[in-house]
A and B are shown apart, each in its own frame.
Chain A
Amino acid sequence: MDGNGIILSIKNLVKAFPKDDTEMIAVSGFALDVKDGEFICLLGPSGCGKTTVLRIIAGLQSATSGELTLKGKPITGPGSDRGMVFQEFGLFPWRSVKKNVEFGLEVQGVDETKKNEISKRFIDLVGLSGFERSHPNQLSGGMKQRVGIARALASNPEILLMDEPFGALDAQTRNLMQKELLRIWQETKKTVIFVTHSVDEAVFLADRIVVMTGRPGKIKEIYTVTLPRPRDRGHPDFINLRKKILDELEQQRQGT
């Protein structure tokens, strides 16, 4: 880590996809420094490049140009120092909850006792004790995403990347999972980059909200949210900030 507490640094990120003999610029001039332990929300309309940015941080896609460093080291490919949580869960259907959570440890050759200990800790943390032997198809959406979070945390990543993780859940479960995530974040002190297109979700969760615009995707505005947690959705400050961001997104939409 640089002395200033920056864990992830993104400089002038550009991503172009080939499209009918030419190129489609999906992300352009994206720059962001993320502090250790920070909760960042990437917010923007769908198609604005949020997933692309997150997948490049994860190392699942390469940047066309730009510089990404995690703890000072350039990002060159996927690795267990970045855990990812997917909207559609991405669990291994043939593995039990326990075996899903242990996947990263297994791949790293962690021994049996250590594996048991770590998976138990994170299964407990996400509130799934008693479901160790269940398979994903026996779980509800919310429970599946708890497994996804436990799995991502089990290999002790520096940073947790979450791509609309609650997008496939019903509203009630979604609100519950937001609270659960904040609890887990506070207990593990992980840095989180959380992609969402819900303003409400971003204001509820984030330390900083990075608002993106589309075509090409770039950062429009960064809001620092100072509202104390747990946040009250009915609080005037909450409502004001949400309205402000919504207005900005609306302006953006009419502009295009």
Chain B
Amino acid sequence: MSSLLDMRVIHKRYLTKDNLIRTSLMIVSLPIFIAFWWILALYFQGQNFYYLPTPLEVWDALVQAWTQDPATRLSLLANVYASLVRFLLGFLLALGLAAPLGLLLGYSRYANALAFPVIELLRPIPPIAWVPFLLLAASFFWGPILTIFIGVFFPVLSNVIFGVRSVDPLIIDAAKTQGANRWQVFSKVMFPSSIPYMMAGVKIGLGVGWMCIVAAEMLASQGGGVGAIIVGGQTVGRYDIMFAGMVTVAVLGILTLLIGSLIERRVKKWMGME
């Protein structure tokens, strides 16, 4: 009943010609892609090149990996779980450090002057360039986690700094005329108005985080992971397994981004900024 109502509302709002065309195109987009992929795979296989598996073969590999992937000898869920744990640990660590540091650097011009050259020096180093060092210096457990940490840290940091600097000076004046002291201006005005920027940094970090994790796990990992599926597929010469790993990463990436957007919208709504 309620879904029927929803549909009517959606139709009323979106049923313009332009929207109809765009929605239809979006619906057929994936099937077209898969069809092309399939045709291409069949064509290559007809020429005796077996590098590109068909979507069906990848699906079969996924089904096989679900119970036990031949390279890591783990179930798909165990591999996903291993990556997720790393992802979450590295992500939360980065957020927990980058957010307060960003608030400080956005607020204090002196602190920023002190930190700016170091940050600008470290930022351009691709997170993946740290992996060999981290795997040696840290451990097979902490290495990938610290890689994600580095990947997420910088986007969150720059967005929080930018957020603090973008606070509307008018509401700072308003707070001052209401008797707020410096700490209260910071905690009650600058901090809350920087939260949406922090969320934007988090969303960028979510994307970068998956890149880092897969890269790190491909170099080395302990206890599986989605990156390990891909490399494992390579070592046993199974292209379908490699693709199964890639599809898994894509799905995980989309899911985390969706969750991130959902949280962002919730926060904005809760803050009355929607």
Contact = CB atoms under 8 A, between A and B. Distances in A.
A interacts with B: yes
A60 B173 contact: yes
A16 B18 CA distance: 57
Contact of B177 (A82, A93, A96, A106): A82
Interface stretch (A84-92, A118-126, A186-194): A84-92
A137 B273 contact: yes
Nearest to B168: A90
Interface in A67-118: 78-80, 82-84, 86, 88, 90-96, 103-104, 106-108
B271 A86 contact: no
Interface in B127-179: 168, 170-171, 173-179
B188 A84 contact: no
A152 B174 CA distance: 9
Contact of B179 (A55, A91, A107, A136): A107
Given A104-B179, A108-B179, A96 B174 contact: no
Given A94-B193, A96-B272, A135-B272, A60 B176 contact: yes
Contacts of A80: 177-179
A106 B181 CA distance: 12
Contacts of B188: 103, 106-107
Nearest to A97: B272
B192 interface: yes
Contacts, number: 79
A155 interface: yes
A96 B188 CA distance: 14
A135 B268 CA distance: 12
Contact of A58 (B170, B177, B195, B272): B177
B272 A94 contact: yes
Interface residues of B, number: 22
Contact of B176 (A78, A88, A95, A155): A78
A136 to B, nearest CB: 7
Contacts of B173: 55, 58, 60, 78, 84, 86, 90
A90 B171 contact: yes
Among B170, B174, B175, B180, chain A packs the most CB atoms within 10 A around the CB of B174
Interface string B250-274: 0000000000000000000001111
Contacts of A155: 178-179
A95 B178 CA distance: 15
A90 B189 CA distance: 11
A151 interface: yes
B67 interface: no
A58 B170 CA distance: 13
Interface string A132-176: 000111100000000000011001000001000000000000000
30 contacts: A58-B173, A80-B178, A82-B177, A83-B178, A84-B174, A84-B177, A86-B174, A88-B170, A90-B168, A90-B173, A90-B174, A91-B174, A92-B189, A93-B271, A93-B272, A93-B273, A94-B272, A95-B272, A103-B178, A103-B188, A106-B188, A107-B175, A107-B184, A108-B179, A135-B273, A136-B272, A137-B274, A151-B174, A155-B179, A161-B177
Interface of A: 55, 58-60, 78-80, 82-84, 86, 88, 90-96, 103-104, 106-108, 135-138, 151-152, 155, 161
